[in-house]
Structure 1
Amino acid sequence: MNPIKRLLKVKYPIIQAPMAGAQNSTLAIQVSKFGALGSLPCATLDIEEMRREIKKIKLATDHSFNLNFFCHENPNNTKNENQWRQIIEKYYQEFNVEFKISSSISRLPFNENIIPVLNEFKPIVVSFHFGLPSKEIVKELKRMNIRIMSSATTVEEALYLEENGVDIIIAQGIEAGGHRGMFLSNDISTQMGLFSLLPQIVKKVKVPVVAAGGIVDAQTVTAAFQLGASGVQCGTVFLTCQESTVKYKKLLTDVSLPTAVTNIFTGRPARSIVNRAMKEIGTISEYAPPFPKSTNYFTPLRNHLERELNFDFSQLWSGQNRTNCKLDSTSHEILQDLIQGIP
């Protein structure tokens, strides 16, 4: 039996990528109801918001679902803050928006306060981005019989994850949209395409490997399995579906718009559709505050401009392959296509 189907108790070895800011429980519910693995991004939720969203999933379906968390360290101070303020402030002046930057933390790392929530709802699996939480927390999750997944962007990261107790490794190719899961290095030159990365990881580890990055249709699903994947994780293709909450769906259907990896919006490398901010500031800036503090510098300006559907200063997370992004598709229609590629 396929190891992903066995470990996660799903009908199809397809995982809907958790996409913070682009979805809520609605998408996760529909994917899980179909028989794939729906995911709820939890990094931007506080404990009570998390409980409310998980309750919605539990009330709607008894199928498996995934809870996703970040494993970053919140910054104690901000280097180059004055330089960054000078870079950003001129845009606030241009649009006559008050330059008032919140000091709140927009994304929280996994911590011990979340353990009671997992005890309460008992998800079959949790997934992590940016490595793993402490060894003590990993042991506690194992004791609770929760499966653990985490993203690897290099062979070295995959070996680290396997050594530290991960049940399933998600091989994240450079094509993937949103944040790079890299955690052993900050060097973007170490990042490779999925179809180079995937077979190398599969050859080196014993745990099942899920392919992520550029998987948008039956053909790319088949290709991932042919290179040794036991399952696939898909994100960008769901961004234009009815259950997605993103405002920039129309941009996603324009495959002529390029994407690039940038750190300016959050402080960590992430793939976005190229917009004015990335063109003028640069895709990678040494002055960008560390993750997730950089987010706060764009939030008031972004919120103001998005009222007019101006996305010049928004993070437009997207993978490189948007060939199957269709307006008003449903998650079930997307999944019907994807499952045709499963061997």
Structure 2
Amino acid sequence: MTDGKRSWVRGRLAELLGLEVPIVQGPFGGGLSSVALATAVSEGGGLGSYGGHILTPEGIGALVNELRKATARPFAVNLWVPHPDEAAAPPDRDQMARYAGLLRPWFEELGLPTAPLEEPSPAPGFAEQIDALLAAEPPVISFVMGIPEARVLDEARRRGIGTVGTATTVEEALAIEAAGMDAVVASGSDAGGHRGSFLRPVNESLVGTFSLVPQVAQAVSIPVVAAGGIADGRGIAAALTLGADGVQIGTGFLATEESGASAIHRAALHGPDAYTTVLTRAFSGRLARAIPNRFTREVLAYENELAPYPMQYTLTRPLRAAAAEHGLADYVNLWSGQAAALTRPRGARAYLDELIADTGAALRHLVPGRDSAAAP
């Protein structure tokens, strides 16, 4: 890192992806992403991102067109690589009835019909999604939950699309590099939302961000993006000092006005309960980090008996929808990382500008004279 105005922004990640600042907005699934949020971050010089794993192939093409119209700056679209175990045969009707029965007390409490016993509607197929995304040619495609097949990465390279994988362990980071991806997100267990471990079980892959980042930076030669528990300039400065080439911030941007989070979700991120988070399967069937509420606490006794993903997500959908409609935070999936308490209500661009200024200030404090005053 050289001296000079905002010198910390110049590095491998910014050069690779065409960014002004090496700050990536975390992609959110389940409707929490928004074009407005991704655009605000990209226009501010970072990498705005959109989680597209629930979109149809047609929806993916339309999304990329909308983002391209909204900004001429780089942006990313994120997809989930499917787990092999999630392609297994669906549960039979008796199993489904047992899974639904576990949720009956909460459905009755909210006056809802018993949880539906239909099979989940088929999710959009990853092969069709990625083909549509490659055809749309976004500047960057990022992946979580695994590594796509070689033909996907070969085609992305041929089309000039940057690729970014997500690792929760050094082992996964090495696999991402070996597959030929351009950069890797080192996602620590501090991060909010679903855990993306894919080589070992989640409980063997819970490495904290500031333990994971220096190990990944030492192990791979591609740019490393630190993620998890980073919400202010101090966190960015720490990640850079540990060897990261940039950072990915999820919860901080989820808490902004432009995100697709509901009012009760954003209020929870800014509230006193945000100091505590828990890993839970209660809402989706896959472990995810959230602010605990009544539902996560009461389901804990049955957590190993819950339906797998995506069936649990389907079964709880009416409960979550009714709770959101009536402002009942006790039944909503309040995805959150472990630094949510550092957030506050504001617009995404104001937040990004603050991150840029505060990172420079933190680096100057760490090494006086290393980086000069740098308001955007």
Both proteins in one fold, TM over 0.5: yes
1:170 to 185, 188, 191: 185
Residue 34 of structure 2: aligned partner: 24
Query: Given that residues 75 and 139 in structure 2 are in contact (C-alpha distance below 8 angstroms), is that contact kept between their aligned partners in structure 1?
Result: yes
Deviation at 1:104, TM superposition (A): 3.5
- Residue 45 in structure 1 maps to residue 45 in structure 2: no
Residue 22 of structure 2: aligned partner: 13
Residue 270 of structure 1: aligned partner: 288
Question: How do 1:41-80 residues align onto structure 2 when only pairs under 5 Å count?
Answer: 41-73=51-83, 74-75=86-87, 76-78=89-91, 80=95
TM-score, L = length of structure 2:
0.86
Residue 221 of structure 2: aligned partner: 206
| Cα shift readout 1:197-237 (whole Å, capped 9, x = no counterpart) | 11111111111100001111111110000000000000101
What letter matches 2:40 in structure 1?
A: Q
Alpha-carbon distance between aligned partners in 2 of 1:263 and 1:107, rounded to the nearest angstrom:
19
Residue 338 of structure 1: aligned partner: 355
Alpha-carbon distance between aligned partners in 1 of 2:201 and 2:104, rounded to the nearest angstrom:
27
What letter matches 1:319 in structure 2?
A: G
Alpha-carbon distance between aligned partners in 2 of 1:236 and 1:109, rounded to the nearest angstrom:
28
Query: Given that residues 263 and 283 in structure 1 are in contact (C-alpha distance below 8 angstroms), is that contact kept between their aligned partners in structure 2?
Result: no
- Residue 191 in structure 1 maps to residue 209 in structure 2: no
Question: How do 1:172-321 residues align onto structure 2 when only pairs under 5 Å count?
Answer: 172-247=187-262, 248-257=265-274, 258-282=276-300, 285-321=303-339
Unmatched tracts of structure 1, length 5 or more? none
What letter matches 1:63 in structure 2?
A: R
Give the number of aligned pairs. Answer: 341
Deviation at 1:142, TM superposition (A): 2.1
Structure with a larger share of its residues in helix: 2
Deviation at 1:187, TM superposition (A): 3.7
Q: Which moved more, 1:290-299 or 1:60-69?
A: 290-299
The structure-2 alpha-carbon separation of the partners of 1:62 and 1:336, relative to structure 1 and needing over 3 Å to count, comes to same
The structure-2 alpha-carbon separation of the partners of 1:305 and 1:233, relative to structure 1 and needing over 3 Å to count, comes to same
Task: State the structure with more CA Rg.
Answer: 2
The structure-2 alpha-carbon separation of the partners of 1:65 and 1:43, relative to structure 1 and needing over 3 Å to count, comes to same
Query: Given that residues 100 and 114 in structure 2 are in contact (C-alpha distance below 8 angstroms), is that contact kept between their aligned partners in structure 1?
Result: no
3-state secondary structure, aligned to 1:174: coil
Alpha-carbon distance between aligned partners in 1 of 2:244 and 2:224, rounded to the nearest angstrom:
5
Unmatched tracts of structure 2, length 5 or more? 1-9, 364-376
CA-atom RMSD, angstroms? 1.9
Deviation at 1:108, TM superposition (A): 3.9
Query: Given that residues 243 and 331 in structure 1 are in contact (C-alpha distance below 8 angstroms), is that contact kept between their aligned partners in structure 2?
Result: yes
What letter matches 2:296 in structure 1?
A: M
Alpha-carbon distance between aligned partners in 2 of 1:100 and 1:281, rounded to the nearest angstrom:
15
Query: Given that residues 106 and 295 in structure 1 are in contact (C-alpha distance below 8 angstroms), is that contact kept between their aligned partners in structure 2?
Result: no
Query: Given that residues 186 and 226 in structure 2 are in contact (C-alpha distance below 8 angstroms), is that contact kept between their aligned partners in structure 1?
Result: yes
> Kindly, what percent of the aligned residue pairs are identical?
33
Query: Given that residues 16 and 38 in structure 1 are in contact (C-alpha distance below 8 angstroms), is that contact kept between their aligned partners in structure 2?
Result: yes
Q: Which moved more, 1:293-302 or 1:94-103?
A: 94-103
Q: Which moved more, 1:195-204 or 1:141-150?
A: 141-150
